Amino acid sequence: CYADRSFFPLRLEISACNIIFNITPVDCIDVIIHASKSIIKMFSAKMAKGPICVTGGSGFLASWVVKILLEKGYKVHATTRKMEKALFLKKLDGATDDNLKIFDGCDFSIADSFDRSIEGCYAVIHCASPFFNVGGTRENLVDPAVAGTEIVLGACRKLGVERVTLTASSACVIVDYGTKAAASESGNHVYTNLDFSPSEILEEKKNYYSLSKLYAERRAWELSKEEGCPYKLCILNPSLIWGPMLKGQTHLNTSSAAIVQYMDGSHKKIQNGVRCVVDVRDVAEAHIIPIEKDIGWGKRFLLFGGAPHFKETSQYIKEALESNGSDIAKELAANVPTEVDEALQPTVMGPPADKPMLFDVEETETVLGIQFRSVKEMVTACVNDLLANGFTGYNQYDTKKL
């Protein structure tokens, strides 16, 4: 029978059913037939709507979106700039030439390069975006992010896509250099989906990464409200994304690299600050739920699973390495620092580092039904999969591969 997340084998022990529920073998057969019809009907409905396009399909988050969509029975179009980066998707459980098509050459610098991947799709999950470039500038961060949003959403409009979910970032929400906390009578601020990072401060600080996220989200909302727009839009604002990495990932992603820095000895002391984090599986589900359940349109949702101090995070990293059992894990566990740096982390996201990060994700939990995984669970899963994929040193982090 079909469940919301996956399929489970239908096992009916006829004698047990007869004893416990007082039903006959004929009744059991009727149940099987009814369940089979429900499965066929649900699959037929999904296929009739057309495929779902996932941009940036080879990325840490998008690859999980692809995986979950395939498990749910959808046909998927995954975009990538280079085919070799996305070939591991073909090894996902249930992936076939019929239900997974990979489109390469999809580039924010090339107009109409996403058209062929989006054509025929009834929904698009837009995850692709520049994350970080060394020496980030307006030209290599802000401009590509906004242009990419325009290219993808322009294709959605032109090709009659019905539903779009889009990955924004907590950088659109909490990067205010402590100004909101300072302005509050309580000395702190509770962040909600109504908060936006102040563009004037980001411009003053030349924080082009946060500006790229903020302006891309702003442009997405503008395009969705234009006359004749055929699609409904929902925007997700995740914090730093941790959690398990799919087998075969070709590159170390930026968010997971933050954990590697504690594994390989890059950090001699524990950073004295907090960081909002969330599990990649929760973020992936949050991108699919609006499309699948037809909810949340016209809204933005915060995806924050927790805001641990780095001392808590480093402890989970050390515990995960020690329990892994491999020789390399034992060596890496010795690198994890135990002393907290006296100097506080600079105040960029949220309040000063000596104050707790406060946020409200009630609407995310209520509307989307997301129950966020714990920080320990996401860190443990991340560490184990970094080891499994051979990512054990920060020197493996290469922005040219992103």
pLDDT, one tens digit per residue, over 94-118 is 999 999 999 999 999 899 999 999 9
Q: Which residue has the tokens 């099987």?
A: 32
Quick check: is 193 in a domain? Answer: yes
Tally of domains within the chain: 1
In this predicted structure, what is the pLDDT of residue 385? 97
Q: Which residue has the tokens 């290599």?
A: 140
Quick check: is 41 in a domain? Answer: no
> For residue 137, what is the domain's CATH number?
3.40.50.720
Quick check: is 20 in a domain? Answer: no
Write phi, then psi, for 5 (nearest 5 degrees): -105, -30
pLDDT band at 25 (very low <50, low <70, confident <90, very high): low
Quick check: is 2 in a domain? Answer: no
Give the distance between the most distant pair of CA atoms in the chain. 75
Residue 308: partners with Cβ closer than 8 Å, 6 or more residues away: 274, 275, 277, 375
Note the pTM of the prediction, 2 decimals.
0.87
Quick check: is 264 in a domain? Answer: yes
Quick check: is 102 in a domain? Answer: yes
Residue 283 in contact with residue 244, Cβ under 8 Å? no
Domain that holds residue 358: 50-401
In this predicted structure, what is the pLDDT of residue 34? 56
Query: CA–CA separation, 267 vs 45, rounded Å?
Result: 51
Per-residue model confidence as pLDDT tens digits over 310-365: 999 999 999 999 999 999 999 999 999 999 999 999 999 999 999 999 999 999 99
Quick check: is 15 in a domain? Answer: no
Quick check: is 24 in a domain? Answer: no
